[in-house]
A and B are shown apart, each in its own frame.
Chain A
Amino acid sequence: MAQSEVKSILIAGVGGQGTVLTARVLSRLLLQKGYDIKVSEIHGMSQRGGSVVTQVRYGDKVHSPIIAPNSADDIIGFELLEGVRALPYLKEGGTIIVNEQKINPMPVVIGKATYPDDLKDFLCHCGAKVKLFDAHLLAMEAGNAKCLNMVMLGAWAKNAGLEFNEEECLNIIANNVPQKFLNVNIDGFKRGYHAF
């Protein structure tokens, strides 16, 4: 696979939504397929409810862990605003999977700014391949809002075109999620996987 065929997945969300764990599971899934992989995540101050971006790149040989604008094959947006914020990173013809849930940032919470009301409309007409769904609702149906990350992962796995079968995904999740929350996470994954 030539350098140009390196694939890039950008995961955008709000600190605390579990984007880092998603990248961990996702990258171990790719590892099983024998790819070279680089993952970039940021911890610390940026975790505390702020915008968070995690990046995964895979191929025969990957150099940079960082995704340049206009070059992500897939974007997984855990929240509507954060999905739209990440959109310039999507390459032409790329796919963006977005949880349509809105989480107000602090400037909106305190009334100093407004949450744009046209984001869903914009996404649907922006020209990219857009998969918009209420992942928060699916997570709640699975029994815990916190399994949102597995719902998103499931939706991505189905659409990734890498033919991940459900079973191998579930095995990787089992190795990366605490036993106590395993069932709800697996349920969440399945709901995401069958969402589209």
Chain B
Amino acid sequence: MKQLMTGNEAIALGAWEAGVNVVAAYPGTPSTEITENAAKYDELYAEWAPNEKVALEVAIGAAITGGRAMACMKHVGVNVAMDPLLTVAFSGIEGGLVLITADDPGMHSSQNEQDNRRLGRFAKIPVLEPADSAECRDFVKAAFVISETFDTPVMLRLTTRVAHSQSLVEKGERVLRELPPYQKNPQKYVMVPANAKPRHTVAEERLLKLKAYSDETELNRVEKNSAAIGVICSGIVYPYVKDALPDASVLKIGLSNPLPEQKIRDFAASVKTLYVIEELDDVMEEQIRAMGIKTHGKDIFSLEGEIFPETIREKLCDEKTAPAYRYGKELVVRPPVLCAGCPHRGTFYVLKQAKVNVLGDIGCYTLGALPPLGAIDTTICMGAGIGMALGMEKVRGKDFAKQTVAVIGDSTFIHSGITGLIDAVYNNGCTTTIILDNHITAMTGHQQNPLTGFTVKGEPARKLQLETIVKGLGIDRVSVVDPFDLKTFAQILKADLSTEEPSVIIARRPCELLLKGAKGACYINPELCLRCGKCLKIGCPAIEKTGVGKAPIIRSELCVGCGLCQKVCGNDGVITKVGE
């Protein structure tokens, strides 16, 4: 019987059916659930690696020894893994190697919207683009066949709408492959110049063979319809085109690198007007134009964000229907917020009070940038804040560094904060780094990491200690504080900022969502409330302003009783916990 599953679940199923031995990944929306689902299959090994580079390296090792391996990450994760990727593209592998990149057009949960099809082209490797969950399952299996046939890593590119949409998939059987004996082959795998040069030749020849394959494979197929409009598209745009232009002829591209040149030429010749419709970059269009083929594409569609069925109808059919019902005025927006009880709220309150410059990072705590906390100056990428703090210090001097902190999550610190901290120690920085230790990788939905003591399969693991790591890196000034102990936190911060040595404060308190069980809600006594508005400055979703000159109220259904507002208020008896 067919099952309804997300693209991510279907990728995991496809890997299982393909007899994959190893799945390695670092969590990142929209890719996270692939590995969570893969971990449910007892027959395959799955792991959360400390970062995407290590994940890909684990997969490369597994594939070079003859296994089938998959590395999964979000689009920006591939940037971290580019170093091994570009060289394994030369060396090839023995078994099968598939890299899943989950791109995020529209930036639902990302800091940029880079188009990783370009990275696949850059690496000179095949790129597959499934359009729904059934294709996710099928394309993973096809990717392993291509990987082994052409001795190449294969990139399989999802977008948020494919990864997080559900459609019907029929579950198949797992087909096991026999592991070949391990054979040393240094000419192929030791990429010193003398060996790498002939491998470059192999990689170029491989691309030519893949180009011929791209013209043969049913992964790229023509759906002949009216000759008036022909559309070339891939991934999620295909179902959009089917909805928006049911009469159009379509060349559906499943293998988008290298493109099927002959199929494209034939298709272009068979239609009156040709459109290349693709989200983000003009990756296909650019190559099709270079073939000397006239087409529409980014002359009418945007290079930014998502394309929707109605966008296609608007652009091609000049069809724009006004909504039947609409509230005439602008509606107040509802941005995401830190949860009630979130430990990060304490940290950002302390930082805001201290009026320091805050170099932030990637995680739930990025939400500390939003009002009313508004406590973050920069967010660039995973691990960036610590190195950036050192860079600022080198331009603006020690006095500036004494008003500047880098803030990074526990999992992000393991991912790529460690090297930044080593730089601060090595190059005489005096950065104060705050590591937010909430005992979990929270933003992506609570994944285990090297600091939690459990693997992705929930098995016990060696639990690394942040204090030990940080001291081992050469930081002598290390403190641990509960971020809700505002007074102590502020004191430590002040002392650490004033010294000329690098320091680390570990703000330790578990993610509120890990602490199940109500602790009783807080209550504001309107008789005693001074209307100072302090409690509103922590941005707690449970505390509401009720009107000018009125006491705020705490919504008991949202309050988790963390008591941070009591501490911020500071006036005895104004805020109490119900039952206390």
From the candidates A15, A63, A127, name the one contacting B325 in the complex (CB within 8 A).
A127
Say yes or no: B324 contacts A92, CB within 8 Å.
yes
Closest A residue, CB atoms, query B328: A122
Question: B87 at the A/B interface (Cβ < 8 Å)?
Answer: no
> Nearest chain B CB to A69's CB is how many angstroms away?
6
Question: B164 at the A/B interface (Cβ < 8 Å)?
Answer: yes
Q: Which residues of A contact B364 (CB under 8 A)?
A: 48
> Nearest chain A CB to B130's CB is how many angstroms away?
13
Question: A27 at the A/B interface (Cβ < 8 Å)?
Answer: yes
Given contacts A40-B161, A42-B108, A88-B325, contact A106 B246 (CB under 8 A): no
Q: Which of B27-78 contact A (CB under 8 A)?
A: 29-30, 32-33
Most A CB within 10 A of own CB, among B30, B334, B338, B367: B334
Closest B residue, CB atoms, query A87: B325
Given contacts A64-B239, A64-B309, contact A50 B335 (CB under 8 A): yes
From the candidates A36, A50, A68, A84, name the one contacting B336 in the complex (CB within 8 A).
A50
Q: Which residues of B contact A106 (CB under 8 A)?
A: 334-335, 337, 370-372, 539, 541
CA distance A112 to B323 in the complex (A): 29
Which of these binds chain A: B115-123, B165-173, B282-290, B433-441?
Answer: B165-173
Given contacts A41-B164, A63-B239, A119-B327, contact A105 B132 (CB under 8 A): no
Q: Which residues of B contact A36 (CB under 8 A)?
A: 168
Say yes or no: B545 contacts A110, CB within 8 Å.
yes
CA distance A133 to B519 in the complex (A): 30
Q: Which residues of B contact A114 (CB under 8 A)?
A: 332
Q: Which residues of A contact B445 (CB under 8 A)?
A: 43-44
A-B contact count (CB 8 A): 183
Say yes or no: B332 contacts A43, CB within 8 Å.
no
Question: B400 at the A/B interface (Cβ < 8 Å)?
Answer: no
Q: Which residues of B contact A68 (CB under 8 A)?
A: 243, 308-310, 313
Q: Which residues of A contact B165 (CB under 8 A)?
A: 38-41, 65
Question: A111 at the A/B interface (Cβ < 8 Å)?
Answer: yes
Question: B196 at the A/B interface (Cβ < 8 Å)?
Answer: no
Say yes or no: A48 contacts B334, CB within 8 Å.
no
Question: A183 at the A/B interface (Cβ < 8 Å)?
Answer: no
CA distance A179 to B545 in the complex (A): 38
Say yes or no: B242 contacts A39, CB within 8 Å.
no
Say yes or no: B166 contacts A38, CB within 8 Å.
yes
CA distance A60 to B537 in the complex (A): 52
Given contacts A39-B165, A110-B539, contact A27 B4 (CB under 8 A): yes
Say yes or no: B161 contacts A126, CB within 8 Å.
no
Question: B331 at the A/B interface (Cβ < 8 Å)?
Answer: yes
> Nearest chain B CB to A114's CB is how many angstroms away?
7
Q: Which residues of A contact B359 (CB under 8 A)?
A: none
Q: Which residues of B contact A41 (CB under 8 A)?
A: 6, 164-166
CA distance A92 to B309 in the complex (A): 19
CA distance A16 to B541 in the complex (A): 12
CA distance A63 to B566 in the complex (A): 53
Q: Which of B361-420 contact A (CB under 8 A)?
A: 364, 366-367, 370-372
Q: Which residues of A contact B371 (CB under 8 A)?
A: 106-107, 110, 112
Q: Which of B90-132 contact A (CB under 8 A)?
A: 108-109, 132
Say yes or no: B324 contacts A105, CB within 8 Å.
no
Question: A116 at the A/B interface (Cβ < 8 Å)?
Answer: yes
Q: Which of B264-299 contact A (CB under 8 A)?
A: none
Say yes or no: B4 contacts A31, CB within 8 Å.
yes
Question: A1 at the A/B interface (Cβ < 8 Å)?
Answer: no
> Nearest chain A CB to B562's CB is how many angstroms away?
15
CA distance A122 to B325 in the complex (A): 10
Say yes or no: A87 contacts B168, CB within 8 Å.
no
Q: Which residues of A contact B372 (CB under 8 A)?
A: 106, 110
Say yes or no: A63 contacts B4, CB within 8 Å.
no
- The chain A residues found within 8 Å of chain B, CB to CB, are 3, 14-16, 27-28, 31, 36-51, 62-66, 68-70, 81-82, 84-85, 87-94, 104-116, 119, 122, 126-128, 145
26 contacts between A and B (CB under 8 A): A16-B339, A39-B166, A41-B164, A42-B109, A43-B29, A45-B29, A45-B108, A48-B338, A49-B334, A50-B337, A65-B166, A65-B167, A66-B161, A66-B309, A68-B310, A69-B323, A70-B322, A70-B324, A104-B544, A106-B334, A106-B539, A109-B544, A116-B329, A116-B332, A119-B327, A126-B327
- The chain B residues found within 8 Å of chain A, CB to CB, are 2, 4, 6, 29-30, 32-33, 108-109, 132, 160-161, 164-168, 239-240, 242-243, 246, 308-310, 313, 321-327, 329, 331-339, 364, 366-367, 370-372, 443-445, 536-537, 539, 541, 543-545, 557
The 3 closest A-B pairs by CB, nearest first: A44-B109, A44-B29, A88-B323
